């Protein structure tokens, strides 16, 4: 009797989406540079030689994973609601939406935030990230100029601190337990736009 | 004529403090796990065999570097000002002081924030970090209980988001240019305690 063919068997279920999802988990755990094709093969449960059936190469997976995060942010930027209303309304919508995207695409955004520019793929991702940052920075400046956000803090610092707060969620958020995306976005909006200080009852 | 002895020559100037400082720079750039004794020797400008004259081992350097960050935080916790005044006054002092410590010991705090618990040394550092987090969390709860911070956000989330904002500074702050520690602390305090929203003139 022929031996079973575990590799073929295990291959089932590895559509491109699940390959990407598993690979991103490995990248986040071991670091992209510290991940070998052998690590990916092990995580996918295929042999080292079978891995190339699933994955043309590590960097192509990285590019797809980073696009998954960046496409979410740029779809938001292109949305009508990012262009409607006062500057502070648009800024609030964008910050709230960024929290939702971060939680919805948590491993992809986590990976994006660790990119340091070590390859052409990483450079391209950093370029798109800077473009997104410029969009935010522009919104913050507009809101500072019309007086809807406080004038006594440098808008460049506001942009850094505001998205520093959003991005820091990747450091501790666990989807399985804890706050929902909406609760988290509410708490973040209250702290950063209205402030933690208790207000005297009206 | 005997050849010059570059190793001995270069050894001068490598007191324990400069060894630690250079090593932390390498750890932050390459990642602690990705740093070899050879990398450290190269950064110190000594031969691979001479490195053990300066450094008993990589993990001992890591322990000293993490203590540099943690000792700063625990000296603050033990300070009289962390125990004087209302809960929100103490919280504000501690957050502001945390920004100063972060900037004053930037590479050490950066390293601390990347620790994931991969060794006994890392586990010990995580333990001390959790102890610090509990101190903060307790302060936030106290301030929520006496009404000095808003009651409509979960204190555990406030703790996460507040220190997420502080810690995110390590992602972009460049000491050589940009805001001073005080300017940065001011901006962060205004955003998180008073909120970004512009107030109507009184």
Task: State how far the alpha carbon of B6 is from the alpha carbons of A79, B1, B2, in Å.
Answer: 62, 15, 12
The 8-class DSSP code of residue B12 comes to: T
Q: Does one domain contain both A86 and A128?
A: yes
Identify whether the C-beta of residue A159 lies closer than 8 Å to the C-beta of residue B192: no
Give the highest mean pLDDT range of A3-7, A192-196, B10-14.
A192-196
* A200 found inside a domain: no
- Which helix (H) or strand (E) covers residue A125, if one does? helix A120-145
Q: How confident is the model over B127-146, as a mean pLDDT?
A: 97
Q: What is the pLDDT of residue A200?
A: 55
Across A11-20, A32-41, A109-118, least confident range = A11-20
pLDDT at B200 over 90: no
Distance from CA of B87 to the nearest CA of A (A): 12
Q: What is the pLDDT of residue A202?
A: 45
What mean pLDDT value characterizes chain B? Answer: 91
Q: What is the pLDDT of residue A144?
A: 96
Question: Considering CB atoms only, which of B88, B152, B169 is closest to A190?
Answer: B152
pLDDT: is A78 or B201 the higher one?
A: A78
Q: What is the pLDDT of residue A6?
A: 47
Beta-bridge partners for A197: B149
Residues in chain B: 202
The Cα–Cα gap between A184 and B127 comes to: 26
Question: A115 in helix, strand or coil?
Answer: coil
Q: Does one domain contain both B104 and B131?
A: yes
Q: Does one domain contain both A115 and A168?
A: yes
Q: What is the pLDDT of residue B7?
A: 46
The Cα–Cα gap between A67 and A63 comes to: 6
Q: Does one domain contain both B52 and B66?
A: no
* B200 found inside a domain: no
Token pair of B110 as six digits: 């950066």
Residue A183: closest CA among chain B residues belongs to which residue?
B153
Q: What is the pLDDT of residue B115?
A: 93
* B199 found inside a domain: no
Residue A168: closest CA among chain B residues belongs to which residue?
B164
pLDDT at B58 over 90: yes
The 10s digit of each residue's pLDDT in B2-38 is 444 444 444 455 888 999 999 999 999 988 988 999 9
The Cα–Cα gap between A173 and B122 comes to: 21
CATH number at residue A145: 1.10.357.10
Q: How confident is the model over B37-45, as a mean pLDDT?
A: 94
The Cα–Cα gap between A154 and A162 comes to: 12
pLDDT at A8 over 50: no
The 8-class DSSP code of residue B171 comes to: G
The 10s digit of each residue's pLDDT in A127-140 is 999 999 999 999 99
* B31 found inside a domain: yes
* A1 found inside a domain: no
Q: Does one domain contain both A83 and A174?
A: yes
The Cα–Cα gap between B4 and B122 comes to: 41
Summary count for chain A: helices (H), strands (E): 10, 0
Q: What is the pLDDT of residue B194?
A: 96
Q: What percent of chain B has pLDDT over 70?
A: 92
pLDDT at B44 over 60: yes
Q: What is the pLDDT of residue B6?
A: 47
* A132 found inside a domain: yes
What mean pLDDT value characterizes chain A? Answer: 91
Chain-chain contact of B150 with A88 (C-beta, under 8 angstroms): no
Residue B144: closest CA among chain A residues belongs to which residue?
A198
pLDDT at A182 over 70: yes
CATH number at residue B26: 1.10.10.60
Chain-chain contact of B168 with A167 (C-beta, under 8 angstroms): yes
| Chain B residues in contact with A113 (beta carbon < 8 A) | 171
The ipTM of this complex is 0.88
Identify whether the C-beta of residue B139 lies closer than 8 Å to the C-beta of residue A188: no
Q: What is the pLDDT of residue A34?
A: 87
Q: How confident is the model over B87-110, as a mean pLDDT?
A: 98
Q: Does one domain contain both A121 and A26?
A: no
pLDDT at B61 over 60: yes
Q: Does one domain contain both B110 and B40?
A: no
Q: What percent of chain B has pLDDT over 90?
A: 78
Q: What percent of chain A has pLDDT over 70?
A: 92
Question: Considering CB atoms only, which of A33, A158, A184 is closest to B196?
Answer: A158
**Domain limits at B170?**
62-194
Beta-bridge partners for A149: B197
Query: Would you call A199 an interface residue with chain B, using a CB distance cutoff of 8 Å?
Result: yes
pLDDT at A5 over 60: no
Q: Does one domain contain both A46 and A117?
A: no
The Cα–Cα gap between B152 and B157 comes to: 11
pLDDT interval class at A1 (50, 70, 90): very low
CA B196 to mean position of chain CA atoms: 26
Q: How confident is the model over B90-106, as a mean pLDDT?
A: 98
Choosing among B110, B196, B197, which should be mutated to test the A contact, i.e. which has the most A CBs within 10 A?
Answer: B196
Q: How confident is the model over B156-184, as a mean pLDDT?
A: 94
Q: What is the pLDDT of residue B51?
A: 87
Identify whether the C-beta of residue B7 lies closer than 8 Å to the C-beta of residue B50: yes
The Cα–Cα gap between A32 and A110 comes to: 12
Identify whether the C-beta of residue A69 lies closer than 8 Å to the C-beta of residue A108: yes
* A202 found inside a domain: no
Identify whether the C-beta of residue A103 lies closer than 8 Å to the C-beta of residue A181: yes
Q: Does one domain contain both A22 and A115?
A: no
* A134 found inside a domain: yes
Q: Does one domain contain both A43 and A68?
A: no
Query: Would you call B145 an interface residue with chain A, using a CB distance cutoff of 8 Å?
Result: no
The Cα–Cα gap between B171 and B159 comes to: 19
Q: Does one domain contain both B40 and B86?
A: no
- What is the number of structural domains in chain A? 2
The Cα–Cα gap between B91 and B136 comes to: 8
Residue with tokens 């936030």: B140
pLDDT at B48 over 60: yes
Q: Does one domain contain both B95 and B44?
A: no
The 8-class DSSP code of residue B81 comes to: G
The 10s digit of each residue's pLDDT in A121-178 is 999 999 999 999 999 999 999 999 999 999 999 999 999 999 999 999 999 999 888 8
A149 phi and psi, to 5 degrees?
Answer: -120, 155
Q: What is the pLDDT of residue A98?
A: 98
Long-range contacts, B116-121 (Cβ 8 Å, 24+): B118/B33, B119/B59, B119/B62, B121/B59, B121/B62, B121/B63, B121/B66
């Amino acid at each position: 009797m022929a031996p079973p063919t575990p590799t073929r068997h295990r291959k089932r279920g590895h559509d491109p989406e699940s390959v990407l999802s598993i690979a991103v988990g490995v990248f986040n755990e071991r670091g992209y540079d510290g991940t070998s094709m052998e690590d990916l093969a092990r995580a996918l449960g295929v042999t080292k030689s079978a891995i190339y059936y699933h994955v043309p190469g590590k960097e192509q997976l990285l590019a797809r994973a980073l696009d998954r995060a960046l496409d979410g942010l740029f779809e938001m930027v292109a949305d009508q609601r990012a262009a409607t209303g006062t500057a502070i309304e648009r800024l609030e919508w964008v910050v709230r939406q960024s929290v939702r995207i971060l939680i919805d695409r948590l491993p992809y955004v986590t990976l994006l935030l660790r990119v340091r520019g070590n390859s052409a793929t990483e450079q391209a991702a950093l370029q798109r990230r800077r473009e997104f940052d410029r969009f935010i920075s522009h919104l913050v400046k507009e809101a500072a100029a019309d007086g809807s956000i406080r004038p006594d803090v440098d808008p460049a610092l506001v942009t850094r601190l505001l998205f520093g707060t959003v991005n820091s969620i990747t450091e501790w958020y666990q989807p399985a337990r804890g706050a929902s995306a909406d609760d988290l976005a509410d708490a973040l909006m209250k702290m950063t736009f209205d402030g933690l200080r208790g207000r005297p009852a009206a």
